[in-house]
Structure 1
Amino acid sequence: MLTSHSRSDGVTEWLSGDVGLLVYAVAVTATSESYTARHLSVLEGLEAVRKRPGMYIGTTDSRGLMHCLWEIIDNSVDEALGGHATKIGIVLHADTSVTVSDDGRGIPVDIEPKTGLSGVEVVYTKLHAGGKFGGGSYQASGGLHGVGASVVNALSSRLDVEVDRGGKTYRMTFHRGEPGTYADPASGPGPESPFQPFVDHSELAVVGKAPRGRTATRVRYWADRQIFPKSAVFSYDELVTRVRQTTFLVPGLEIVVRDERGLPGTPGENGPHEESFKHTGGAADFVDFLAPDTPVTATWVLQGAGSFKETVPVLDERGHMTPREVQRECEVDIALRWGTGYDTEVRSFVNIISTPKGGTHLTGFEQGLLKVIRKNVEANARKLKVSTKDGAERIEKDDVLAGLTAVVTVRLAEPQFEGQTKEVLGTGPVRQIVSRVVEKEIQARLSSTKRDEKTQASLLLDKVVAEMRARITARKQKEISRRKNALETSSLPAKLADCRSNDVDRSELFIVEGDSALGTAKLARSSDFQALLPIRGKILNVQKASISDMLRNAECAAIIQVLGAGSGRSFDIEAARYGKIIMMTDADVDGAHIRTLLLTLFYRYMKPMVEAGRVFAAVPPLHRVEVIGSGRRKNEYIYTYSEAELGVTLKKLDKAGRRYKPDIQRYKGLGEMDADQLAETTMDPRHRTLRRVTAEHAEAAERAFELLMGTDVAPRKEFLIAGAAELDRSRIDV
């Protein structure tokens, strides 16, 4: 199959996914008769990869760099999946290279008869070559359609492979995909070392002895900076997240990650940092790790299998491709748990490879879940007080998924993906297999006579029905909560000082700490587009409270009412009355505490505002230094925002010989500033500083809120004690 791409320079490109050819057709200005085969340029193998890397790895920024790393790691994970490896090591070196090692069988070192090349060279230089295609080496595997290792080699300025097999250590090195030898200096290997390509034939060198019986593979490579910009870097956090996920999905596999780069802002900034990951509970442990809320059900494990027939092209003895019907087996492994919240967290995998955009396995999971729960709700309609007449109260998918945390994994040979990057599973029969397994396993629990499972089933159906009714109510009230109606309603809190503008994108809502600061803020604001809502003291910690308690709290209810977009699952960001929410609290510890409580409210019940980057924290100053002018020069004011910054500022003034008044004003609250000062430092868009609140890593944010604001005291105490040594004492407000 050929896929085409037209470039801005008049060149049309076709990529053949079957044979790894990149064909160019250069546009000509003459007639179509002059457009002949001489205008075509053919790039074969790895040359095509280097010319159009985006066709293989998506992008050449940090995402593409990480994608290459996943390909090498996935090869090692495939060994573990097959029961051949128990440990994988990953090292991020200071010279920007990365090493991946495993104790698997080792890449074959003997000669592959068709090409006459060693197994190592075949794997790293030939597209669509490896142990995943013959059917005898891996029952289930990942990798980028089998082109992963060779693509990474093509996009590396240098790649070294070492294999331990048969009591020997073999090595082969490559320069931008071409095999050869490097003359490395005593300082160590690198892509800048002199390179000599092989002339007549390639050589897999024996460089040492390996302990008897030991097999292993080690790959070290340097990403080619002709392909990847210097700004593209390996993300330690992303790597650890993926590694942890893998060890959940492959029970018993240990993966050790070591960071030697010393990058600022990473755990290894003060020296090499190493972490080890190993789990034995499989998908159930993964669900327990991901689940953010109080459980409604226990973590249920659903397992099953099914088979299907598939027609695939097979190479016959004459070298011809002929269609043949083959039997495929599909194993299903699912762990799930419902909680008291309303957020849904479903992770799907094929052969432990993440499919973030889902596919047929996820569709089957959702269909099976909806079918079996809908059937049980209808069967218990009278007990649940559900009206089934004319579909008045009918369970929908979102009702079932609310509060659900699940890990859906399928294992099968030769999975079909939509696109090279494997984000969507396309194998059709998998949908029905997964759906059947889910229906059967969930039904067994919903109809169980065991006391604990019977209680969980009852709680689950009650929750689903409650979600259904909340959805129906929200739908009926949706138009009422639209901005137009919200602006026209007379039920807004009396303490709201609203703005005149109807432009949502331009308007800002300042949540102000205390009534005393409100008076000054009214004088400092631009009433055209800045609205003010005062809150009294510390609002309710919603992480510890129920939804009903939150709604009964006057301050929480006022914020939800003023924003006009609802809360929880019914929150509609399109109905929000303001483009920005700005928390304006004092610059002391109490102010920070109030901001934390507000953030908890926004994250727990108005999360789309946080995810859209529409929640901000104002940054009011903590001190004002009055610098004495000289001559006709007037006194000027310098604002500082921490004790450390104040110390630096005073040292600079002393060094410059500038005098300042010794009585430095320290603002205990916003109300101590006059209107001009508040406008200049905190409210005027031309001068102020705002901190945008983001939640790029949802799991980490969930765990942080639960740890710091939740009901369980012991983990919070452990966290505070463990981190005490890292505390910046200058930031303590005494």
Structure 2
Amino acid sequence: MSGSRRVLAYYRTVPEYTARHLSVLEGLEAVRKRPGMYIGSTDSRGLMHCLWEIIDNAVDEALDGHADRIGVTLLPDGSVAVADNGRGIPVDEVPGVGLSGVEVVYTKLHAGGKFGGGSYAASGGLHGVGASVVNALSQRLDVEVDRDGRTHRMTFRRGEPGRFADGRTPSPESEFTPFVTDSELEIAGKVAKKKTGTRVRFWPDPQIFPSTTEMSIEAILGRAKQTAFLVPGLTIVIRDERTSDTLEETFHYDGGVVDFVDDLAPDAAITQTFHIEGSGTFVETVQTLDKDTGHLVPIETERTCRVDVALSWGQGYETTMKSFVNIIATPVGGTHVQGFEAGLSRAMRKLIETNARRLKITAKDPKIEKEDIMAGLTAVVTVSLPEPQFEGQTKEILGTGPVRGIVNKVIGDGLLEVLSSTKRSQRDETNRLLEKIVAEMRARVAARMHKEISRRKNALETSTMPAKLSDCRSEAVENTELFIVEGDSALGTAKLARNSEFQALLPIRGKILNVQKASPADILRNQEVAAIIQVVGAGSGRTFDVDAARYGKVILMTDADVDGAHIRTLLLTLFFRYMRPLVEAGRVYAAVPPLHRIDVIGRGKAKNEVHYTYSEAELSALLKKLEKQGRRYKEPIQRYKGLGEMDADQLAETTMDPEFRTLRRVSMADEEAIRQAETVFELLMGNDVAPRKEFIVEGSEEVDRARIDV
């Protein structure tokens, strides 16, 4: 009983919780109290969202065919101005409200021209809270509307309409007089009767956004560029006046999603860019205001969802996908992306099943997964529909359920129709794509097996490595080196020349497979390529994990002749295509073995001197120097045509000992270097013979025939 009394006594100490404890926030006060509900956060992401809300209103005018130009200006005082040449916000009085359209749009939540469906066929602004939220979170906001031959003007401070006593320059610090009884839409000037448009300038409120928060010009430029792609014919001008060096960029594209995909593609394409369009309808229950009763009543409305998608596959394995609803980006996806992925998977699995015999797919092979299909895919997925349902005001996820099935059908049926074409060019393209997908499936399975093996170089792991690998003893990855050696003859010498503490050796038999030219299925079956991938130990393709690599350096050690150069190029092609992060990290090197050995006869009792040269020019210069000094040397001069011609001491001294050797690092410093590498590898190692033949013919006069081993 004493315990029960203590419990009862405890509950009596809790304050009463009644209706008087509930706060009712009206109008824009709710926005200022809980800004995260409307813009996601109050950091730079939320600040940028405010700008997107204003820009999207202008874009909706362009999307509906009423505007073709939008200007965005970042001003030195921290404010932002957005201008468009659309129809202009209505300035007449809103029936039943008693306020002008401008004041209603900027002060009333859930108010605007995008509810009834009569003003916009499809728009990004849907909840009617965008402009009013920005107003509520701004220290000051000015609106100017050109309409009916006049410029109408209204100003707000933290959402409250009134009038600022400005001097020459408008400022949020100017004296402000709020409207008390009636609001006034000021007539600020006259314009041509046909001129229309809206100009909005707002100063973010420092009470909401930290002083260190600022807008990213890179993000604005990226958003402007993608919008110009999605609304062909629209011109967007971005101007940044925040620094002494004013930046101005203009975006205008007449193409659509096809051009967008071509711009986004990170590597050379193996398919053309496919453009798939379609539409579907669904019935949705909508709450509509009854004019007679003034109450909301549910009405079943038929909606049309239009699908516009472009996609292509590249040689790489990165997936680049952008999705949009009424040209509003949905970075987290939603039902339209789910439908796209489902339709894509359905179509590709059907095609692979039809071509299973040619692709050597058996019942024992695992199921093709979505990630196999999307490897190397670049896609832009756009849908447009009236009043889409988003999950939150930030519009990052589409929630309208029926869209999933519509996009699934449009994409699945459209892809099957295109890729099943009997035209020879399309048939070859389809075959290349299906081989890539099957190869990704097999690479995924192989990568999973690799991950099951411990990355540490212990006895268990060493026993699972290829038998021809001569591993090192050290487990400190940053200090270890893997030499990929050409031929077994050089391997014997290299074993004696290496420091087995940190140098490992993997011999390869002659010229490995050209992975640029071979089909993915052939690549996976090739023992030499498989051994290299297994020994490096970090997977391959898009599953490659550079942090899991078993060696700090990978050194390609081939003969100093034409065949050695060819083998080195084949190896570089493999690393560039399937282990690129290792190259980007600067961990792939090419050994530089000498071409010549010159034994200079010592004078008197002095011992003979040994000199190594690495080019014909260096040899010629050395011989001239010796002749000038009156020194003699043994003839004929030894010309190394292979690593196997050196003894262990010579190989260590010239090529393997870190104290004396020379290595060439293979690197890609920036995106331009990567693009150049893509071009060179495709030219020298790709399937297209004509450009390579032209390159060889044009450069034939520069070849030194004496350097060709025949």
TM-score (norm 2): 0.70
Give secondary structure in 2 for the equivalent of 1:191.
coil
Q: Is the 8 A contact 2:450 2:539 kept in 1?
A: no
1:166-565 matches, cutoff 5 A: 166-186=148-168, 188-262=169-243, 271-316=245-290, 317-387=292-362, 389=363, 392-480=365-453, 482-483=455-456, 488-489=461-462, 491=465, 498-499=474-475, 564-565=537-538
Per-residue displacement from partner, 1:524-581 (whole Å, max 9, x unpaired)?
xxx9xxx89999xxxxxx99999999999xxx99997676321213325785669xx7
Q: Is the 8 A contact 1:129 1:147 kept in 2?
A: yes
Give secondary structure in 1 for the equivalent of 2:258.
helix
Distance 1:461-1:564 versus aligned 2 partners, 3 A rule: closer
Per-residue displacement from partner, 1:662-696 (whole Å, max 9, x unpaired)?
xxxxxxxxx999xxxxxxxxxxxxxxxxxxx999x
Per-residue displacement from partner, 1:236-283 (whole Å, max 9, x unpaired)?
111111111111111111100011111xxxxxxx51111000111100
CA distance in 2, matches of 1:603, 1:183: 64
Distance 1:509-1:534 versus aligned 2 partners, 3 A rule: farther
Which residue in the other structure is 2:76 paired with?
A: 94
1:564-583 matches, cutoff 5 A: 564-572=537-545, 575=548
1:167 is matched by which residue type in structure 2?
G
Which residue in the other structure is 2:679 paired with?
A: 711
Which residue in the other structure is 1:147 paired with?
A: 129
Q: Is the 8 A contact 2:269 2:312 kept in 1?
A: yes
Task: Tell me the CA shift for residue 52 of structure 1.
Answer: 1.2
Q: Is the 8 A contact 1:483 1:575 kept in 2?
A: no
Which residue in the other structure is 1:685 paired with?
A: none
Per-residue displacement from partner, 1:27-58 (whole Å, max 9, x unpaired)?
x9966683222222222111111111111111
CA distance in 2, matches of 1:602, 1:462: 20
Give secondary structure in 1 for the equivalent of 2:268.
coil
CA distance in 2, matches of 1:605, 1:566: 9
CA distance in 2, matches of 1:355, 1:86: 24
CA distance in 2, matches of 1:571, 1:672: 28
Give secondary structure in 2 for the equivalent of 1:42.
coil
1:590-629 matches, cutoff 5 A: none
Which residue in the other structure is 1:104 paired with?
A: 86
Task: Tell me the CA shift for residue 495 of structure 1.
Answer: 8.1
Task: Tell me the CA shift for residue 140 of structure 1.
Answer: 0.9
Q: Is the 8 A contact 2:87 2:197 kept in 1?
A: yes
2:250 is matched by which residue type in structure 1?
S
Distance 1:193-1:181 versus aligned 2 partners, 3 A rule: same
CA distance in 1, matches of 2:482, 2:176: 65
Give secondary structure in 2 for the equivalent of 1:467.
helix
Q: Is the 8 A contact 2:352 2:434 kept in 1?
A: yes
Distance 1:471-1:231 versus aligned 2 partners, 3 A rule: same
In the alignment, structure 1 residue 72 sits paired with structure 2 residue 48: no
1:202 is matched by which residue type in structure 2?
S
The number of residue pairs the alignment matches comes to 556
CA distance in 2, matches of 1:488, 1:371: 39
CA distance in 1, matches of 2:251, 2:459: 51
Which residue in the other structure is 2:645 paired with?
A: none
Distance 1:371-1:208 versus aligned 2 partners, 3 A rule: same
Between structure 1 and structure 2, the one with the greater Rg is 2
Distance 1:423-1:309 versus aligned 2 partners, 3 A rule: same
CA distance in 1, matches of 2:342, 2:123: 26
In the alignment, structure 1 residue 82 sits paired with structure 2 residue 64: yes
Per-residue displacement from partner, 1:349-374 (whole Å, max 9, x unpaired)?
11111111111111111111111121
User: Which structure 2 segments of 5+ residues have no match?
Assistant: 1-9, 484-500, 507-513, 555-570, 588-656, 660-666, 682-710
Let me know the Cα RMSD of the aligned residues.
4.1
Distance 1:577-1:149 versus aligned 2 partners, 3 A rule: farther
User: Which structure 1 segments of 5+ residues have no match?
Assistant: 1-27, 263-269, 501-506, 514-526, 536-541, 584-597, 618-670, 674-692, 696-700, 714-734
TM-score (norm 1): 0.68
Distance 1:558-1:93 versus aligned 2 partners, 3 A rule: farther
Task: Tell me the CA shift for residue 606 of structure 1.
Answer: 5.8
Give secondary structure in 2 for the equivalent of 1:711.
helix
CA distance in 1, matches of 2:260, 2:121: 23
Task: Tell me the CA shift for residue 413 of structure 1.
Answer: 0.7
Percent of pairs with identical residues: 60
1:386 is matched by which residue type in structure 2?
I
Which residue in the other structure is 2:43 paired with?
A: 61
Give secondary structure in 1 for the equivalent of 2:82.
strand
Task: Tell me the CA shift for residue 144 of structure 1.
Answer: 6.5
CA distance in 2, matches of 1:461, 1:34: 68
Task: Tell me the CA shift for residue 105 of structure 1.
Answer: 0.5
Distance 1:318-1:93 versus aligned 2 partners, 3 A rule: same
CA distance in 2, matches of 1:100, 1:110: 22
Per-residue displacement from partner, 1:582-622 (whole Å, max 9, x unpaired)?
99xxxxxxxxxxxxxx99999975688999xxx699xxxxx
Distance 1:488-1:442 versus aligned 2 partners, 3 A rule: closer
